[in-house]
Chains A and B, each alone.
Chain A
Amino acid sequence: MAVEVKLEGLSAWFGSNQVLDDISFTVPAQSVTAIIGPSGSGKSTLIRLVNRMHEILPRTRHEGHVFLGGEDVYGDDVDPVDVRRRVGMVFQRPNPFPTMSIYDNVAAGLKLNGVRGKRSGMDGLVEESLKAAGLWGEVRNRLKAPAGGLSGGQQQRLCIARAIAVRPEVLLMDEPASALDPQSTLRIEDLMAELKQRYTIVIVTHNMQQAARIADWTAFMTVTEEGAPGRLIEFDQTNTIFTHPKDDRTQAYVTGRFG
């Protein structure tokens, strides 16, 4: 069940270095939201705050709240492991376990989250996940083959299958197509359009045309001066951001006049 993601006053630090300052916006359920902005504007840190991955790095801290469908993921009684099950993540480089079979790669996520029982039940979930990731047709006859033999685009879809196998409510994607060829990129983009029917998707991308193509909403972040933390400049419907953004800094960035 997809839920809205509400970010409220989020700031983040690595040691004494503040990298995010007071970010607030709400990602609607069952939509794709793109976060765009130059390198170092804190985009990745922002999404890692959503599934509590920021805190696993040493000497980090944050302020503010993230609400998943109204529940604060930083609440006192909330288990970070449970948050990471509810919020799946796909990274820039496909990172399947290369020697593990295609089947086991998808099943691993389920096993890690305590899914046990008869093999047949697991089979169904693996098939369902691979179908949802648009990979089933290509791998159904070689489920026992090592995942390392798949192409880059297939490996990334395998990672998406692994992420959605545990039925998260939100999918975070950090540059999911930047290491892929154009055709594989389009497969991932088409897949996102399908997946948003069931999940709330947040994607970090450097590719502005990709944001324009796939996102319903777009957040533009930047650093306003050297050494300053990343700030949210504008959050609006993607169409508005790419036709008549309200802030001159957004306009400068999306039109390539930045820097």
Chain B
Amino acid sequence: MRLTFQQELQQLEASLQEESCLVLRALRGCLNALEQHDVELADEVVVFDDEIDAAYLSIEEGIQSLLARQTPVAIDLRLVLAILHDNLHLERMADYCVTIAKLTKLVHEVTPDETLIAGFDEMGARAEEMIRVAMQSFADRNVESAETLVELDELIDNANRRVVQHILSLGSDPNLREWGLRMILVSRCLERIGDHAVDIGEQSAYLVTGEFREFTDASH
């Protein structure tokens, strides 16, 4: 048994799960900041991203070291590659949280629209659920569960469309135009977080089956 190697691999996977918890905190933080018009909280989310970046880099370095020293193969190689991809997906999710926080700061003087806040609340909750499902499926090596992310993603996509429609229906008030544009970006960020969760699900399927396939064809 390659005990040290297996321990290092397990440690890397544990670090990935911890990173996902940090991303969930960032997501909850930016959603609260948006809802509550809390500029300080938005700032905290921006600063907190350094912590996620550090976790991301630490995993990257761990993977580099494992590849250089241990030359993993078969299931071990697939796990290392999946962690490599998932690490990047989580880091990207955190960047979207930062974008939401920064957009929140830019629009903090505009009174939030209740319908919109409810829409973001729904999207945020769905995004959180998707991250949890994605990471649990990965931990459980559960392809069936990972595939449910496609349906969850459709829900977040639908919510995104409703939010955009609502913003467009607000009319052509010049004061609301900039605000509306920024809110569309917020919606887009949440929708992209869902996409990354699906990508993590695809990595779980690759880890189990050894064959990479996209759950849905995004080309049309």
Binding site for B on A (CB under 8 A): 208-209, 212, 241-245, 250-251, 254-257, 259
Contacts and interface: CB of A to CB of B under 8 A. Distances in A.
A209 B71 CA distance: 8
A243 B71 contact: no
Residue among B74, B210, B211 with most chain A CB within 10 A: B74
A146 to B, nearest CB: 39
B73 A243 contact: yes
B76 interface: yes
A203 B74 CA distance: 21
The 8 A-B residue pairs whose C-beta atoms are closest, nearest first, are A244-B210, A256-B2, A242-B73, A251-B74, A254-B73, A255-B76, A255-B74, A254-B74
Nearest to A250: B74
B1 A259 contact: yes
B72 interface: yes
A212 B74 CA distance: 11
B79 to A, nearest CB: 10
A242 B73 CA distance: 5
A257 B5 CA distance: 11
What is the predominant secondary structure among interface residues of chain A facing chain B?
helix
Size bracket, chain B contacts: 10 to 19
Interface in B202-217: 209-211
B74 A245 contact: yes
Nearest to B6: A257
Contacts of B210: 243-244
5 contacts: A212-B73, A243-B74, A254-B73, A256-B2, A257-B1
Contacts of A257: 1-2, 6
Nearest to B211: A244
Contacts of A245: 74
Contact of A242 (B1, B5, B77, B209): B77
A250 B73 CA distance: 11
A153 B58 CA distance: 41
Contacts of A212: 73
Interface string B60-97: 00000000000111111110000000000000000000
Interface string B29-68: 0000000000000000000000000000000000000000
A234 to B, nearest CB: 11
Nearest to B209: A244
A186 to B, nearest CB: 16
Contacts of B6: 257
A211 to B, nearest CB: 10
Given A242-B74, A242-B77, A255-B75, 20 more contacts: A208-B73, A209-B71, A212-B73, A241-B74, A242-B73, A243-B73, A243-B78, A243-B210, A244-B78, A244-B209, A244-B210, A244-B211, A250-B74, A251-B74, A254-B74, A255-B72, A255-B73, A257-B1, A257-B2, A259-B1
A101 B209 CA distance: 56
Contacts of A259: 1
A256 B78 contact: no
Residue among B75, B210, B211 with most chain A CB within 10 A: B75
A115 to B, nearest CB: 44
A185 to B, nearest CB: 15
A259 B5 CA distance: 15
Contacts of B71: 209
Given A209-B71, A243-B210, A244-B211, A256 B5 contact: yes
A177 B5 CA distance: 26
Nearest to A244: B210
B75 to A, nearest CB: 6
Interface in B1-19: 1-2, 5-6
A250 B74 CA distance: 9
B20 to A, nearest CB: 25
Contacts of B74: 241-245, 250-251, 254-255
Contact of B77 (A208, A209, A243): A243
A251 B74 CA distance: 6
B202 to A, nearest CB: 16
Contacts of A241: 74
B10 to A, nearest CB: 13
Interface string B180-216: 0000000000000000000000000000011100000
Contacts of B209: 244
A257 B2 CA distance: 7
A160 B72 CA distance: 32
